[in-house]
Amino acid sequence: MDALVIGAGPAGLMAAEELARAGRRVVICEAKPSAGRKFLMAGKSGLNVTKDEEAARFLAAYGSGWLAPMLAEFGPQAVQDWCRGLGQEVFTGSSGRVFPVAMKASPLLRAWLARLGGMGVELRVRWRWEGFGGEGEGEGGGLRFLTPAGVQVLHPAVTVLALGGASWARLGSDGVWVPWLRARGVEVAAFRPANMGFGVVWSTHMAKWFGQPVKGAALLVGARRERGEFVISARGLEGGGIYAVSRDLREGAALALDFLPDLPEAEVAARLARLKPGETLANRLRKLGLSPVAVALVMEWGRGLPPAQAAKHLPVPLGGPRPLDEAISVAGGVTQGAVTEGLELKAVPRVFVCGEMLDWEAPTGGYLLTGCLATGRRAGRAAALA
């Protein structure tokens, strides 16, 4: 075996493609019965492949500049061209989010797997990596797999690990690899949930609103104002608007809601003053234009506040973030200092890492998939030269 990729998500498939283009004989081992399970799940409501926006703003979504060189080489335009190369035309929505015209992930994945097969890449499913092999099996100790035919130990010339983070374990990202790399001297930052919901303790009156979206509001976190839809659930608040500010909330920032983001508070107060006195707060809020679910939230948390303040700056008593396995993605993973510029593990030569295994974080909206593709491309290209 010449080159081995462990993990058949977007990062692993991209690494395999780069290795194959360089002439390496590539085998992909995937623990699940099929490839790209999290990728397919992400595409069920429309596969957001990237975000078409000004370069500086796009890079800022990733926080630190670690991925910047990789994203410069394979950013939003390259992702779109890559989709078209697989026969999947794309379009850009009003928010800048880019989707395949087919919307789903399955046509893109089928075309990609067919192209890889045509390049000679072999995909072995139900091959679960169980760590490095025993002593006396070469410098790297081999790579031990549990397979349908029993335990197998492989000794590839180069290996790319694309095992995901530690969210959505049922789809393959379970983080079991962390102690195996740490035992080899690799620094791995503890995983934390990212793009996740937050708990809320509701009164019984809110049960009728579970599952309802809140639209048109601005989420206020410190000096940030983010517009985005979110959903009330029995467990708390979740959805894109919450995910956009989840990093700050996870670090302890407070959240407030502005249900009339296009009006200054003084104008809201003036409009309230023109309403008939004696009306209930709920009726006054409805006449201001608040949706029924927004009114319910103000009645839940804003009693005792001046009505204009409740409509414009409603404090949200959040609990902690939802558990790691419920998060869309994770922060933490193999640190920047543990790898070379080509994403080779310094402590384990000829083993490369990519995708959500790495310590980076980005919001939903196309950033996550682009980051996985870009790091998979970098690792595959570097491994091909090793």
Question: What does the pLDDT read at residue 135?
Answer: 44
The pLDDT score that the predictor gives to residue 327 is: 93
pLDDT-derived band at 297, boundaries 50, 70, 90: very high
pLDDT greater than 80 at residue 324? yes
CA distance 382 to 69: 14
Helix 292-301 and helix 281-288: axis angle, to 10°? 140
User: Taking a C-beta distance cutoff of 8 angstroms, is the pair 324, 193 a contact?
Assistant: yes
Mean pLDDT within 345-370? 96
Q: Which CATH architecture has domain 3-193+328-385?
A: 3-Layer(bba) Sandwich (3.50)
66 has pLDDT over 50 = yes
User: pLDDT digits over 225-247, tens only?
Assistant: 999 999 999 999 999 999 999 99
How much is the pLDDT for 134?
55
Amino acid at position 348, single letter: V
44, 198 Cβ separation under 8 angstroms: no
Q: Is 151 exposed, middle or buried (0-12, 13-18, 19+ CB in 10 A)?
A: exposed
pLDDT in tens, 7-60: 999 999 999 999 999 999 999 999 999 999 999 998 888 899 999 999 999 999
Location of each CATH 3.50.50.60 domain in the chain? 3-193+328-385
Residue 10: CB partners within 8 Å, gap ≥ 6?
Answer: 36, 39, 355, 369, 372, 373, 376
Residue 42: the pLDDT is: 85
Predicted pLDDT of residue 278: 80
Span 244-281, pLDDT tens digits:
999 999 999 999 999 999 999 999 999 999 988 788 88
116-161: pLDDT as tens digits: 999 999 999 999 999 997 544 434 469 999 999 999 999 999 999 9
Nearest to residue 154, comparing CAs of 265, 5, 358?
5
Amino acid occupying residue 171: L
pLDDT of residue 141: 66
3-state DSSP of the chain: CCEEEECCCHHHHHHHHHHHHCCCCEEEEECCCCCCHHHHHHCCCCCCCEECCCHHHHHHCCCCCCCHHHHHHCCHHHHHHHHHHCCCCEEECCCCEEEECCCCCHHHHHHHHHHHHHCCCEEEECCEEEEECCCCCCCCCCEEEEECCEEEEECCCEEEECCCCCCCHHHCCCCCCHHHHHHCCCCEEEEEEECCCEECCCCHHHHHHCCCEECCCEEEECCEEEECCEEEECCEEECHHHHHCHHHHHCCCCEEEECCCCCCHHHHHHHHHCCCCCCCHHHHHHHHCCCHHHHHHHHHHCCCCCHHHHHHCEEECCCCECCHHHCCEEEEEECHHHECCCCEECCCCCEEECHHHECCCCCCCCHHHHHHHHHHHHHHHHHHHC
For the chain, the average pLDDT equals: 94
**pLDDT of amino acid 281:** 87
Q: Pseudo-torsion of CA 318, 323, 326, 328, nearest 10°?
A: 70
